[in-house]
Amino acid sequence: MKVQKILLPIIIVIGALAFFTLFIVKETNQAIVLQFGDPKRIITEPGLNFKLPFIQNVVFLDTRILNLDTPPEEVIASDQKRLIVDAFARFRIVDPLKFYITVGNERVARSRLATIINSRLRNVLGQQELQTLLSKDRTKQMSLIQEGVNAEAESFGIKIVDVRIKRADLPQANSDAIYRRMQTEREREAKEFRARGAEMAVTITSTADKDVSVILANANKDSEIMKGQGDGERNKIFAEAFGRDAEFFAFYRAMQAYETALIGGQTSLILSPDSEFFKFFGNIKPTK
């Protein structure tokens, strides 16, 4: 019983010493051992480590790539156009001692980096026109921003892995003005297209009318030529028929005259029986 009473305080003391002496550095961390606030040792490898109890303490820093979202900032381009830029950055603590001495912790580091990034955004993007910032050339501008931020972040023991623009929007007033300008431009283009279409329609119609007139004139010409040729052939045939049998030709022409004058008309024709018109009816005998 007495032994247990003696061992229990000893175990408690040993446990307390171990608790205040031993510490573990994880794979995702790096540690700085401080003695009364003064850095004494940098630990970058994971594992079990020791420190002096009560007079030394440990500060853990992340070794992973950390994200930083900066608040949206209004940037004025070189052509005086305004743009709302929302950017983000990724960084890593590469020098824990310098990091601890200059900024102390991540909260302060994020605030300092956000200020630097916004300053570089204004400096680089402010030298470009709005059209350039919205084009593929923006990647080149982001590289310049990253280089500038890295140069300043190096003094904090930080390396900037990447800087990107998540979103680049126009202010509402600018958006409305650009929309109206685009609408006016599209209406102007539509009027030009309509005018060109009307001009082409007039040209096509005029060409078609001209072609129709030419085709009709050629057709009438060919028709008259063919008609004249037909009349000539007819007269030639009539002349040959008249030359072969003059009486039959006269009889045939008289039958044509009778057909034209007497059949299918409403006109009355009164002539003398011995008229030349009825000379071929003289030998007709009445039937009983």
Which CATH number is 70's domain given? 3.30.479.30
Do residues 85 and 165 share a domain?
Answer: yes
Nearest C-alpha neighbor of 35 from the set 63, 51, 17, 55: 55
Q: Say yes or no to pLDDT of 92 above 90.
A: yes
* Residue 61 near residue 109 (C-beta atoms within 8 A): no
Do residues 56 and 79 share a domain?
Answer: no
Distance of CA 265 to the CA centre of its chain: 79
Decide if 74 is inside a domain.
Answer: yes
Confidence of residue 156 (pLDDT cuts 50, 70, 90): very high
Do residues 95 and 6 share a domain?
Answer: no
Q: Say yes or no to pLDDT of 286 above 60.
A: no
Do residues 83 and 49 share a domain?
Answer: no
Do residues 88 and 162 share a domain?
Answer: yes
Do residues 53 and 74 share a domain?
Answer: no
Counting Cβ atoms within 10 Å, is residue 263 exposed (0-12), middle (13-18) or buried (19+)? exposed
Do residues 71 and 169 share a domain?
Answer: yes
Q: Say yes or no to pLDDT of 188 above 80.
A: yes
Report d(CA 239, CA 241) in Å as an integer.
5
- DSSP assignments along 55-67, one per residue: TEEEEEEE-S-EE
Report d(CA 281, CA 201) in Å as an integer.
68
Q: Check residues 26 and 284 and name the one with the higher pLDDT.
A: 26
Determine the structural domain holding residue 164 and report its residue range.
66-174
Decide if 206 is inside a domain.
Answer: no
The mean of the pLDDT values for the chain is 79
Decide if 118 is inside a domain.
Answer: yes
Q: Say yes or no to pLDDT of 8 above 90.
A: no
